[in-house]
Chains A and B, each alone.
Chain A
Amino acid sequence: MNSVLQVRDVAKSFGGIHAVNGVSFDVREGEILGLIGPNGSGKSTLFNCILGQLTPTAGEVRIDGKPITGKRPCELNRLGVGRTFQLLQVFPQLTVRENLVLAGQEHQGSMWSRLIGRRDAGQGAAADRMIEFFRLSKLAEEKAGALSYGQQKLLDVAMAFMAGPRLVLLDEPAGGVNPTMLSGLRERLREINAKDHATFVVIEHNMEFVMSLCTRILVLAEGRIIAEGTPEQVRGNPAVIEAYLGG
Protein backbone atom coordinates (compact mmCIF):
# COMPACT_ATOMS: atom_id res chain seq x y z
CA MET A 1 0.00 0.00 0.00
CA ASN A 2 1.12 3.55 -0.75
CA SER A 3 1.91 5.79 2.15
CA VAL A 4 0.07 9.11 1.94
CA LEU A 5 1.97 10.80 4.73
CA GLN A 6 5.58 10.18 5.71
CA VAL A 7 6.97 11.68 8.90
CA ARG A 8 10.75 11.43 9.24
CA ASP A 9 12.67 12.23 12.46
CA VAL A 10 10.45 15.18 13.28
CA ALA A 11 11.47 17.05 16.42
CA LYS A 12 10.18 20.20 18.06
CA SER A 13 11.66 21.92 21.09
CA PHE A 14 10.32 24.83 23.09
CA GLY A 15 13.33 26.18 24.94
CA GLY A 16 14.73 23.19 26.78
CA ILE A 17 11.59 21.08 26.44
CA HIS A 18 11.64 18.47 23.71
CA ALA A 19 7.92 18.25 23.00
CA VAL A 20 8.47 15.99 20.00
CA ASN A 21 11.74 14.11 20.06
CA GLY A 22 12.48 12.40 16.75
CA VAL A 23 9.28 10.79 15.50
CA SER A 24 9.04 8.77 12.29
CA PHE A 25 6.04 6.94 10.89
CA ASP A 26 4.07 6.34 7.70
CA VAL A 27 0.35 6.67 7.16
CA ARG A 28 -0.94 4.25 4.55
CA GLU A 29 -3.64 5.11 2.09
CA GLY A 30 -7.12 4.35 3.41
CA GLU A 31 -6.18 3.49 6.97
CA ILE A 32 -7.49 5.00 10.19
CA LEU A 33 -4.45 5.52 12.34
CA GLY A 34 -4.88 6.25 16.04
CA LEU A 35 -2.39 8.40 17.93
CA ILE A 36 -2.62 7.99 21.68
CA GLY A 37 -0.51 8.88 24.67
CA PRO A 38 -0.73 10.58 28.04
CA ASN A 39 -1.27 14.34 28.35
CA GLY A 40 1.83 16.27 27.33
CA SER A 41 3.24 13.41 25.26
CA GLY A 42 3.47 15.66 22.17
CA LYS A 43 0.50 14.52 20.09
CA SER A 44 -0.93 17.93 19.28
CA THR A 45 2.52 19.44 18.77
CA LEU A 46 3.22 16.68 16.27
CA PHE A 47 -0.02 17.53 14.40
CA ASN A 48 0.93 21.19 14.36
CA CYS A 49 4.37 20.34 12.96
CA ILE A 50 2.88 18.15 10.24
CA LEU A 51 0.30 20.72 9.21
CA GLY A 52 2.35 23.90 9.15
CA GLN A 53 0.99 25.62 12.26
CA LEU A 54 4.46 25.06 13.79
CA THR A 55 7.82 24.69 12.06
CA PRO A 56 9.63 21.55 13.23
CA THR A 57 13.09 22.05 14.76
CA ALA A 58 14.32 19.05 12.75
CA GLY A 59 13.01 16.37 10.44
CA GLU A 60 10.86 16.23 7.35
CA VAL A 61 7.24 15.66 6.44
CA ARG A 62 6.22 14.35 3.02
CA ILE A 63 2.86 13.97 1.36
CA ASP A 64 2.80 11.52 -1.55
CA GLY A 65 6.59 11.57 -1.35
CA LYS A 66 6.84 15.37 -1.79
CA PRO A 67 8.27 17.40 1.08
CA ILE A 68 5.77 19.86 2.56
CA THR A 69 7.96 21.40 5.24
CA GLY A 70 7.46 25.17 5.27
CA LYS A 71 4.16 25.10 3.41
CA ARG A 72 1.37 27.19 4.92
CA PRO A 73 -1.80 25.49 6.20
CA CYS A 74 -3.93 27.02 3.43
CA GLU A 75 -1.59 25.52 0.81
CA LEU A 76 -1.84 22.09 2.46
CA ASN A 77 -5.62 22.37 2.36
CA ARG A 78 -5.36 22.70 -1.39
CA LEU A 79 -3.18 19.59 -1.49
CA GLY A 80 -6.07 17.66 0.05
CA VAL A 81 -5.07 17.70 3.71
CA GLY A 82 -7.66 18.68 6.31
CA ARG A 83 -7.66 18.90 10.08
CA THR A 84 -9.63 19.66 13.21
CA PHE A 85 -8.20 21.23 16.35
CA GLN A 86 -8.23 19.97 19.90
CA LEU A 87 -10.37 22.87 21.04
CA LEU A 88 -13.54 23.36 19.17
CA GLN A 89 -13.12 25.78 16.30
CA VAL A 90 -16.19 26.83 14.38
CA PHE A 91 -17.08 30.38 13.33
CA PRO A 92 -19.81 31.33 15.81
CA GLN A 93 -21.20 34.31 13.86
CA LEU A 94 -21.71 32.32 10.65
CA THR A 95 -24.62 29.92 10.24
CA VAL A 96 -24.00 26.17 10.11
CA ARG A 97 -24.45 26.25 6.35
CA GLU A 98 -22.11 29.21 5.92
CA ASN A 99 -19.46 27.52 8.04
CA LEU A 100 -19.56 24.58 5.64
CA VAL A 101 -19.61 26.74 2.52
CA LEU A 102 -16.59 28.63 3.82
CA ALA A 103 -14.80 25.37 4.51
CA GLY A 104 -15.30 24.35 0.88
CA GLN A 105 -14.99 27.62 -1.02
CA GLU A 106 -11.24 28.15 -1.05
CA HIS A 107 -9.73 24.95 -2.38
CA GLN A 108 -10.48 25.58 -6.04
CA GLY A 109 -10.83 28.54 -8.39
CA SER A 110 -9.12 31.90 -8.06
CA MET A 111 -9.62 34.80 -5.66
CA TRP A 112 -11.36 36.75 -8.46
CA SER A 113 -13.81 33.98 -9.24
CA ARG A 114 -14.83 34.11 -5.59
CA LEU A 115 -15.42 37.86 -5.82
CA ILE A 116 -17.53 38.02 -8.96
CA GLY A 117 -18.93 34.49 -8.99
CA ARG A 118 -21.80 32.90 -7.12
CA ARG A 119 -22.44 33.79 -3.50
CA ASP A 120 -22.11 30.19 -2.35
CA ALA A 121 -19.05 29.66 -4.59
CA GLY A 122 -20.81 26.57 -6.00
CA GLN A 123 -20.61 24.90 -2.59
CA GLY A 124 -24.30 25.12 -1.63
CA ALA A 125 -25.27 21.62 -2.71
CA ALA A 126 -22.17 20.06 -1.17
CA ALA A 127 -22.86 21.90 2.09
CA ASP A 128 -26.45 20.63 2.12
CA ARG A 129 -25.27 17.06 1.54
CA MET A 130 -22.79 17.41 4.41
CA ILE A 131 -25.50 18.86 6.68
CA GLU A 132 -27.71 15.88 5.94
CA PHE A 133 -24.87 13.42 6.32
CA PHE A 134 -24.00 14.73 9.78
CA ARG A 135 -27.69 14.99 10.76
CA LEU A 136 -27.61 18.75 11.22
CA SER A 137 -30.55 19.59 8.93
CA LYS A 138 -32.70 21.24 11.59
CA LEU A 139 -29.84 23.53 12.54
CA ALA A 140 -28.67 24.53 9.05
CA GLU A 141 -29.67 28.19 9.31
CA GLU A 142 -28.76 28.63 13.00
CA LYS A 143 -25.64 30.56 13.95
CA ALA A 144 -22.94 28.05 14.88
CA GLY A 145 -22.43 29.81 18.21
CA ALA A 146 -26.01 28.91 19.19
CA LEU A 147 -25.44 25.14 18.88
CA SER A 148 -24.72 22.80 21.77
CA TYR A 149 -21.12 21.74 22.33
CA GLY A 150 -21.66 18.31 20.78
CA GLN A 151 -23.40 19.75 17.74
CA GLN A 152 -20.60 22.26 17.24
CA LYS A 153 -18.14 19.40 17.44
CA LEU A 154 -19.97 17.55 14.66
CA LEU A 155 -19.94 20.73 12.58
CA ASP A 156 -16.23 21.14 13.29
CA VAL A 157 -15.54 17.66 11.97
CA ALA A 158 -17.89 18.11 9.01
CA MET A 159 -16.02 21.29 8.00
CA ALA A 160 -12.76 19.37 7.72
CA PHE A 161 -14.34 17.22 4.99
CA MET A 162 -15.82 19.98 2.83
CA ALA A 163 -12.79 20.33 0.56
CA GLY A 164 -12.90 16.57 -0.16
CA PRO A 165 -9.55 15.88 1.49
CA ARG A 166 -7.66 12.60 1.06
CA LEU A 167 -6.00 12.90 4.44
CA VAL A 168 -7.61 14.31 7.58
CA LEU A 169 -5.95 14.75 10.96
CA LEU A 170 -8.50 14.81 13.77
CA ASP A 171 -7.40 16.11 17.17
CA GLU A 172 -9.69 14.67 19.86
CA PRO A 173 -12.93 14.50 17.87
CA ALA A 174 -14.68 12.67 20.73
CA GLY A 175 -13.81 15.14 23.49
CA GLY A 176 -16.96 16.36 25.23
CA VAL A 177 -19.35 14.52 22.90
CA ASN A 178 -22.10 12.41 24.52
CA PRO A 179 -22.14 8.62 23.88
CA THR A 180 -25.09 8.61 21.45
CA MET A 181 -23.62 11.36 19.33
CA LEU A 182 -20.26 9.64 19.56
CA SER A 183 -21.43 6.42 17.98
CA GLY A 184 -23.01 8.55 15.25
CA LEU A 185 -19.69 10.32 14.71
CA ARG A 186 -17.89 6.96 14.53
CA GLU A 187 -20.34 5.73 11.88
CA ARG A 188 -19.92 8.91 9.82
CA LEU A 189 -16.13 8.63 9.91
CA ARG A 190 -16.25 4.96 8.92
CA GLU A 191 -18.58 5.77 6.03
CA ILE A 192 -16.33 8.52 4.68
CA ASN A 193 -13.33 6.25 5.08
CA ALA A 194 -15.01 3.43 3.16
CA LYS A 195 -16.75 5.48 0.49
CA ASP A 196 -14.19 8.17 -0.33
CA HIS A 197 -11.06 6.19 0.62
CA ALA A 198 -10.12 9.09 2.88
CA THR A 199 -7.24 8.43 5.24
CA PHE A 200 -7.45 9.52 8.88
CA VAL A 201 -5.06 10.13 11.71
CA VAL A 202 -6.95 10.46 15.00
CA ILE A 203 -5.66 11.76 18.34
CA GLU A 204 -7.98 10.59 21.07
CA HIS A 205 -8.14 9.95 24.82
CA ASN A 206 -11.39 8.02 24.66
CA MET A 207 -9.93 4.49 24.45
CA GLU A 208 -13.16 2.78 23.54
CA PHE A 209 -13.63 5.19 20.63
CA VAL A 210 -10.03 4.77 19.39
CA MET A 211 -9.98 0.99 19.75
CA SER A 212 -13.24 0.56 17.86
CA LEU A 213 -12.47 3.05 15.09
CA CYS A 214 -8.79 2.65 14.29
CA THR A 215 -7.09 -0.09 12.29
CA ARG A 216 -3.64 0.71 13.68
CA ILE A 217 -2.42 2.64 16.70
CA LEU A 218 0.74 4.57 17.55
CA VAL A 219 1.53 5.30 21.17
CA LEU A 220 3.46 8.45 22.01
CA ALA A 221 5.12 9.20 25.35
CA GLU A 222 7.52 12.02 26.14
CA GLY A 223 7.81 12.95 22.50
CA ARG A 224 8.71 9.48 21.19
CA ILE A 225 6.81 6.55 19.72
CA ILE A 226 6.91 3.75 22.30
CA ALA A 227 4.56 1.26 20.70
CA GLU A 228 2.79 0.51 17.46
CA GLY A 229 0.30 -2.13 16.38
CA THR A 230 -3.31 -3.21 16.14
CA PRO A 231 -5.65 -2.15 18.97
CA GLU A 232 -5.28 -5.61 20.55
CA GLN A 233 -1.47 -5.53 20.43
CA VAL A 234 -1.31 -2.05 21.91
CA ARG A 235 -3.76 -2.80 24.68
CA GLY A 236 -1.59 -5.66 25.96
CA ASN A 237 1.75 -3.89 25.58
CA PRO A 238 3.51 -3.45 28.97
CA ALA A 239 5.32 -0.27 27.85
CA VAL A 240 1.98 1.35 27.09
CA ILE A 241 0.50 0.39 30.44
CA GLU A 242 3.66 1.72 32.10
CA ALA A 243 3.41 5.07 30.23
CA TYR A 244 -0.21 5.56 31.21
CA LEU A 245 -0.07 4.33 34.77
CA GLY A 246 3.58 4.70 35.82
CA GLY A 247 5.39 7.90 36.82
Chain B
Amino acid sequence: MKKALLALFLVILVAVPFFLKPYGLYLISLWVVMTIAAIGLNLTLGYAGQISLAQGSFVGIGAYTAAILTTHGWPLWSAFLLAIAISLVIGWVLGYPALRVQHHYLAFVTLSFATLVYLVMRNEEWLTKGVYGISGIPRPELFGWSTRGAVEFYFFCLGVLALVSAATWWLVRSPWGRAFTALRENSIRANSLGVDTRRYTLMAFAIGSALGGISGVLYAPLLQFIEPNAFALGLSLSLLLMVMVGGSGYFMGPFLGAAVSVLLPEWTRFTGNLYLIYYALGVMALMAFCPTGLLGLGERVFKR
Protein backbone atom coordinates (compact mmCIF):
# COMPACT_ATOMS: atom_id res chain seq x y z
CA MET B 1 0.00 0.00 0.00
CA LYS B 2 2.68 2.48 1.04
CA LYS B 3 4.94 1.37 -1.81
CA ALA B 4 2.13 1.72 -4.35
CA LEU B 5 1.37 5.23 -3.11
CA LEU B 6 5.03 6.18 -3.31
CA ALA B 7 5.33 4.82 -6.86
CA LEU B 8 2.22 6.75 -7.91
CA PHE B 9 3.63 9.90 -6.31
CA LEU B 10 6.90 9.51 -8.24
CA VAL B 11 5.08 8.92 -11.54
CA ILE B 12 3.02 12.07 -10.99
CA LEU B 13 6.14 14.10 -10.16
CA VAL B 14 7.82 13.02 -13.38
CA ALA B 15 4.76 13.32 -15.63
CA VAL B 16 3.13 16.47 -14.32
CA PRO B 17 5.39 19.16 -15.85
CA PHE B 18 4.39 18.06 -19.35
CA PHE B 19 0.77 19.01 -18.65
CA LEU B 20 1.41 22.42 -17.07
CA LYS B 21 1.55 25.97 -18.37
CA PRO B 22 4.46 28.23 -17.34
CA TYR B 23 2.79 29.48 -14.15
CA GLY B 24 1.97 25.94 -13.10
CA LEU B 25 5.55 24.92 -13.79
CA TYR B 26 6.81 27.79 -11.68
CA LEU B 27 4.49 26.77 -8.81
CA ILE B 28 5.48 23.14 -8.83
CA SER B 29 9.17 24.06 -8.96
CA LEU B 30 8.58 26.40 -6.03
CA TRP B 31 6.92 23.50 -4.22
CA VAL B 32 10.06 21.40 -4.74
CA VAL B 33 12.31 24.20 -3.47
CA MET B 34 10.14 24.91 -0.42
CA THR B 35 9.88 21.20 0.37
CA ILE B 36 13.66 21.05 0.73
CA ALA B 37 13.65 23.93 3.23
CA ALA B 38 10.70 22.39 5.08
CA ILE B 39 12.51 19.02 5.29
CA GLY B 40 15.33 20.89 7.01
CA LEU B 41 12.99 22.55 9.49
CA ASN B 42 11.20 19.26 10.08
CA LEU B 43 14.54 17.78 11.11
CA THR B 44 15.22 20.60 13.59
CA LEU B 45 11.67 20.96 14.86
CA GLY B 46 9.80 17.76 14.04
CA TYR B 47 12.48 15.24 14.94
CA ALA B 48 14.75 17.07 17.40
CA GLY B 49 12.03 19.30 18.89
CA GLN B 50 13.90 22.61 18.58
CA ILE B 51 11.69 25.43 17.31
CA SER B 52 13.18 27.85 14.80
CA LEU B 53 11.65 30.96 13.29
CA ALA B 54 14.70 31.53 11.14
CA GLN B 55 14.51 28.83 8.48
CA GLY B 56 13.52 31.47 5.88
CA SER B 57 16.74 33.33 6.68
CA PHE B 58 18.78 30.29 5.66
CA VAL B 59 16.84 30.13 2.39
CA GLY B 60 17.84 33.79 2.02
CA ILE B 61 21.47 33.09 2.82
CA GLY B 62 21.51 30.31 0.23
CA ALA B 63 19.73 32.45 -2.36
CA TYR B 64 22.08 35.42 -1.93
CA THR B 65 25.11 33.14 -2.03
CA ALA B 66 23.89 31.69 -5.34
CA ALA B 67 22.86 35.07 -6.76
CA ILE B 68 26.14 36.80 -5.90
CA LEU B 69 28.38 33.96 -7.05
CA THR B 70 26.57 33.06 -10.28
CA THR B 71 26.15 36.69 -11.42
CA HIS B 72 29.91 36.96 -11.03
CA GLY B 73 30.48 34.00 -13.29
CA TRP B 74 30.93 31.25 -10.71
CA PRO B 75 29.22 27.92 -11.36
CA LEU B 76 26.14 26.98 -9.30
CA TRP B 77 27.83 23.98 -7.67
CA SER B 78 30.29 26.35 -6.01
CA ALA B 79 27.28 28.19 -4.57
CA PHE B 80 25.96 24.87 -3.21
CA LEU B 81 29.24 24.19 -1.44
CA LEU B 82 29.59 27.70 -0.02
CA ALA B 83 25.92 28.00 1.01
CA ILE B 84 26.01 24.62 2.77
CA ALA B 85 29.21 25.59 4.58
CA ILE B 86 27.88 29.00 5.65
CA SER B 87 24.50 27.61 6.76
CA LEU B 88 26.10 24.76 8.69
CA VAL B 89 28.32 27.14 10.62
CA ILE B 90 25.65 29.80 11.28
CA GLY B 91 23.06 27.09 12.09
CA TRP B 92 25.47 25.52 14.57
CA VAL B 93 26.02 28.88 16.27
CA LEU B 94 22.26 29.57 16.29
CA GLY B 95 21.86 26.30 18.14
CA TYR B 96 23.73 27.58 21.21
CA PRO B 97 20.78 29.53 22.64
CA ALA B 98 18.76 26.30 22.40
CA LEU B 99 21.10 24.78 24.98
CA ARG B 100 19.81 27.30 27.48
CA VAL B 101 16.25 28.16 26.45
CA GLN B 102 13.40 26.21 24.88
CA HIS B 103 9.99 26.64 23.25
CA HIS B 104 8.74 30.23 22.89
CA TYR B 105 11.92 31.70 24.37
CA LEU B 106 13.89 29.90 21.71
CA ALA B 107 11.38 31.09 19.12
CA PHE B 108 12.15 34.69 20.08
CA VAL B 109 15.91 34.17 19.88
CA THR B 110 15.60 32.73 16.39
CA LEU B 111 13.17 35.51 15.49
CA SER B 112 15.81 38.12 16.36
CA PHE B 113 18.27 36.28 14.21
CA ALA B 114 15.80 36.32 11.30
CA THR B 115 15.42 40.08 11.69
CA LEU B 116 19.18 40.51 11.76
CA VAL B 117 19.65 38.56 8.52
CA TYR B 118 16.87 40.59 6.88
CA LEU B 119 18.58 43.84 7.88
CA VAL B 120 21.88 42.67 6.46
CA MET B 121 20.23 41.74 3.16
CA ARG B 122 18.46 45.10 2.96
CA ASN B 123 21.19 47.43 4.17
CA GLU B 124 24.52 45.97 3.03
CA GLU B 125 24.14 47.30 -0.51
CA TRP B 126 27.78 46.68 -1.47
CA LEU B 127 27.07 42.96 -1.14
CA THR B 128 23.36 42.47 -1.73
CA LYS B 129 22.34 45.58 -3.72
CA GLY B 130 19.80 46.24 -0.95
CA VAL B 131 16.17 46.79 -1.87
CA TYR B 132 16.97 46.82 -5.60
CA GLY B 133 17.67 43.12 -5.36
CA ILE B 134 19.81 41.04 -7.68
CA SER B 135 18.50 40.27 -11.15
CA GLY B 136 19.69 38.26 -14.12
CA ILE B 137 20.55 35.19 -12.08
CA PRO B 138 21.50 32.50 -14.60
CA ARG B 139 20.25 28.92 -14.51
CA PRO B 140 22.96 26.29 -14.48
CA GLU B 141 24.21 23.96 -17.17
CA LEU B 142 25.05 20.41 -16.14
CA PHE B 143 27.45 18.41 -18.31
CA GLY B 144 26.19 20.29 -21.36
CA TRP B 145 22.49 19.97 -20.36
CA SER B 146 21.01 23.44 -20.08
CA THR B 147 18.34 23.97 -17.45
CA ARG B 148 17.26 27.32 -18.85
CA GLY B 149 13.81 26.00 -19.77
CA ALA B 150 11.18 25.73 -17.06
CA VAL B 151 10.71 21.97 -17.46
CA GLU B 152 14.46 21.34 -17.38
CA PHE B 153 14.92 23.47 -14.31
CA TYR B 154 12.04 21.69 -12.60
CA PHE B 155 13.78 18.35 -13.16
CA PHE B 156 17.04 19.79 -11.87
CA CYS B 157 15.27 20.85 -8.65
CA LEU B 158 13.53 17.48 -8.44
CA GLY B 159 16.93 15.76 -8.65
CA VAL B 160 18.23 17.83 -5.75
CA LEU B 161 15.07 17.04 -3.77
CA ALA B 162 15.63 13.33 -4.43
CA LEU B 163 19.18 13.55 -3.07
CA VAL B 164 18.08 15.55 -0.03
CA SER B 165 15.23 13.11 0.66
CA ALA B 166 17.50 10.09 0.44
CA ALA B 167 20.07 11.66 2.77
CA THR B 168 17.40 12.69 5.26
CA TRP B 169 15.77 9.25 5.11
CA TRP B 170 19.14 7.72 5.97
CA LEU B 171 19.71 10.22 8.76
CA VAL B 172 16.38 9.82 10.54
CA ARG B 173 16.64 6.03 10.43
CA SER B 174 20.22 6.00 11.73
CA PRO B 175 21.06 6.10 15.45
CA TRP B 176 21.12 9.89 15.03
CA GLY B 177 17.43 9.94 14.21
CA ARG B 178 16.72 7.91 17.33
CA ALA B 179 18.83 10.30 19.41
CA PHE B 180 16.98 13.31 17.90
CA THR B 181 13.65 11.76 18.88
CA ALA B 182 14.93 11.08 22.39
CA LEU B 183 16.12 14.69 22.61
CA ARG B 184 12.65 15.89 21.61
CA GLU B 185 10.74 13.63 23.98
CA ASN B 186 12.88 13.90 27.10
CA SER B 187 16.28 15.53 26.93
CA ILE B 188 17.11 14.96 30.63
CA ARG B 189 16.54 11.22 30.37
CA ALA B 190 18.37 11.10 27.04
CA ASN B 191 21.36 12.79 28.61
CA SER B 192 21.42 10.30 31.49
CA LEU B 193 21.49 7.50 28.91
CA GLY B 194 24.67 8.89 27.37
CA VAL B 195 23.12 10.95 24.58
CA ASP B 196 25.28 14.04 24.22
CA THR B 197 22.27 16.33 24.03
CA ARG B 198 24.42 19.41 23.54
CA ARG B 199 26.10 18.10 20.43
CA TYR B 200 22.91 16.61 18.96
CA THR B 201 21.02 19.89 19.48
CA LEU B 202 23.70 21.83 17.62
CA MET B 203 23.78 19.19 14.88
CA ALA B 204 20.00 19.36 14.48
CA PHE B 205 20.23 23.12 13.96
CA ALA B 206 23.25 22.92 11.65
CA ILE B 207 21.85 20.21 9.37
CA GLY B 208 18.35 21.71 9.26
CA SER B 209 19.84 25.10 8.39
CA ALA B 210 22.07 23.61 5.69
CA LEU B 211 18.97 22.21 3.96
CA GLY B 212 17.50 25.72 4.14
CA GLY B 213 20.65 26.96 2.40
CA ILE B 214 20.35 24.31 -0.34
CA SER B 215 16.76 25.36 -0.91
CA GLY B 216 17.89 28.97 -1.32
CA VAL B 217 20.55 28.04 -3.87
CA LEU B 218 17.70 26.67 -6.04
CA TYR B 219 15.34 29.54 -5.24
CA ALA B 220 17.62 32.20 -6.77
CA PRO B 221 17.89 30.69 -10.27
CA LEU B 222 14.22 29.63 -10.16
CA LEU B 223 13.00 33.25 -9.87
CA GLN B 224 16.16 34.67 -11.48
CA PHE B 225 15.57 37.75 -9.35
CA ILE B 226 15.76 38.06 -5.57
CA GLU B 227 15.18 40.88 -3.11
CA PRO B 228 15.24 41.00 0.71
CA ASN B 229 11.47 40.96 1.32
CA ALA B 230 11.19 37.43 -0.05
CA PHE B 231 13.21 36.24 2.97
CA ALA B 232 11.58 38.35 5.67
CA LEU B 233 9.80 36.77 8.62
CA GLY B 234 6.84 35.76 6.44
CA LEU B 235 8.86 33.03 4.74
CA SER B 236 10.03 31.58 8.07
CA LEU B 237 6.46 31.54 9.32
CA SER B 238 5.19 29.87 6.20
CA LEU B 239 7.90 27.20 6.45
CA LEU B 240 6.85 26.62 10.05
CA LEU B 241 3.25 26.32 8.86
CA MET B 242 4.30 23.78 6.20
CA VAL B 243 5.94 21.58 8.82
CA MET B 244 3.00 21.81 11.24
CA VAL B 245 0.27 21.36 8.62
CA GLY B 246 1.97 18.42 6.93
CA GLY B 247 2.71 16.69 10.20
CA SER B 248 5.69 17.59 12.35
CA GLY B 249 8.02 14.64 12.80
CA TYR B 250 6.60 12.66 9.85
CA PHE B 251 8.99 12.05 7.00
CA MET B 252 6.41 12.93 4.32
CA GLY B 253 5.05 15.87 6.32
CA PRO B 254 7.07 18.61 4.58
CA PHE B 255 6.08 17.32 1.12
CA LEU B 256 2.42 17.57 2.00
CA GLY B 257 2.76 20.78 4.02
CA ALA B 258 4.62 22.57 1.24
CA ALA B 259 1.95 21.44 -1.22
CA VAL B 260 -0.77 22.86 1.02
CA SER B 261 1.12 26.11 1.45
CA VAL B 262 2.31 26.63 -2.15
CA LEU B 263 -0.32 24.91 -4.31
CA LEU B 264 -3.57 24.89 -2.35
CA PRO B 265 -4.09 28.69 -2.29
CA GLU B 266 -4.06 28.56 -6.10
CA TRP B 267 -6.60 25.75 -6.24
CA THR B 268 -9.00 27.65 -4.00
CA ARG B 269 -8.97 30.61 -6.40
CA PHE B 270 -12.29 29.44 -7.87
CA THR B 271 -13.90 30.87 -4.73
CA GLY B 272 -13.01 34.33 -6.00
CA ASN B 273 -11.58 37.14 -3.93
CA LEU B 274 -12.08 35.34 -0.66
CA TYR B 275 -9.76 32.44 -1.47
CA LEU B 276 -7.10 33.35 1.06
CA ILE B 277 -9.70 33.67 3.81
CA TYR B 278 -11.04 30.17 3.10
CA TYR B 279 -7.51 28.90 3.05
CA ALA B 280 -6.71 30.53 6.40
CA LEU B 281 -9.90 29.16 7.99
CA GLY B 282 -9.00 25.67 6.78
CA VAL B 283 -5.55 25.89 8.33
CA MET B 284 -6.97 27.18 11.62
CA ALA B 285 -9.49 24.34 11.80
CA LEU B 286 -6.77 21.78 11.08
CA MET B 287 -4.46 23.12 13.79
CA ALA B 288 -7.28 23.29 16.33
CA PHE B 289 -8.65 19.80 15.72
CA CYS B 290 -5.53 17.99 14.66
CA PRO B 291 -2.30 19.51 15.95
CA THR B 292 -0.36 16.54 14.56
CA GLY B 293 -1.07 17.80 11.04
CA LEU B 294 -2.54 16.10 7.98
CA LEU B 295 -0.44 12.97 8.31
CA GLY B 296 -1.36 12.66 11.98
CA LEU B 297 -5.00 13.03 10.97
CA GLY B 298 -4.57 10.40 8.27
CA GLU B 299 -2.96 8.01 10.73
CA ARG B 300 -5.86 8.45 13.17
CA VAL B 301 -8.49 7.82 10.52
CA PHE B 302 -6.57 4.90 9.01
CA LYS B 303 -6.14 3.13 12.35
CA ARG B 304 -9.82 3.32 13.22
Contact = CB atoms under 8 A, between A and B. Distances in A.
Interface string B259-289: 0000000000000000000000000000000
Contacts of A76: 192
A162 B179 CA distance: 15
A106 B179 contact: yes
Interface in A98-127: 98, 101-103, 105-107, 111, 114-117, 119-121
For B173, B193, B197, the residue with the greatest tally of chain A CB atoms inside 10 Å of its CB is B193
Interface string B142-176: 00000000000000000000000000000101111
Interface stretch (A84-92, A182-190, A197-205): A84-92
A74 B187 CA distance: 11
Interface residues of B, number: 25
Nearest to A103: B193
A90 B185 CA distance: 9
A163 interface: yes
Contacts of B181: 91, 93-94
Contacts of B199: 111
A115 B194 contact: no
B185 A163 contact: no
For B179, B181, B194, B195, the residue with the greatest tally of chain A CB atoms inside 10 Å of its CB is B194
B194 A163 contact: yes
Contacts of B194: 74, 77-78, 103, 106-107, 163
B300 interface: no
A53 B186 CA distance: 14
Given A85-B189, A92-B185, A74 B197 contact: yes
A83 interface: yes
B178 interface: yes
B232 interface: no
B247 to A, nearest CB: 13
A160 B192 CA distance: 9
A4 B192 CA distance: 19
B193 A51 contact: no
Nearest to B192: A73
Contact of B179 (A78, A105, A107): A105
Contacts of A160: 193
A106 B174 contact: no
Contact of B193 (A53, A102, A115): A102
B171 A51 contact: no
B224 interface: no
B178 A74 contact: no
A197 B195 CA distance: 25
A235 interface: no
B188 interface: yes
A234 to B, nearest CB: 29
Interface in B212-241: none
B182 interface: yes
A78 B192 CA distance: 10
Interface string A63-81: 0000000001110111000
B124 interface: no
B185 A114 contact: no
Nearest to A114: B175
Nearest to B189: A89
Given A73-B191, A103-B194, A105-B178, 14 more contacts: A72-B191, A74-B194, A77-B193, A91-B185, A92-B185, A93-B181, A93-B185, A94-B182, A106-B196, A111-B196, A114-B174, A114-B176, A115-B175, A115-B176
Interface of B: 171, 173-176, 178-179, 181-182, 185-186, 188-199, 203, 249
The 10 closest A-B pairs by CB, nearest first: A77-B194, A106-B194, A114-B175, A89-B189, A121-B175, A73-B191, A73-B192, A91-B185, A107-B194, A103-B193
17 contacts: A82-B192, A82-B193, A89-B189, A90-B189, A91-B186, A93-B185, A94-B181, A101-B178, A102-B178, A103-B194, A106-B193, A106-B194, A106-B195, A111-B196, A115-B175, A117-B174, A121-B175
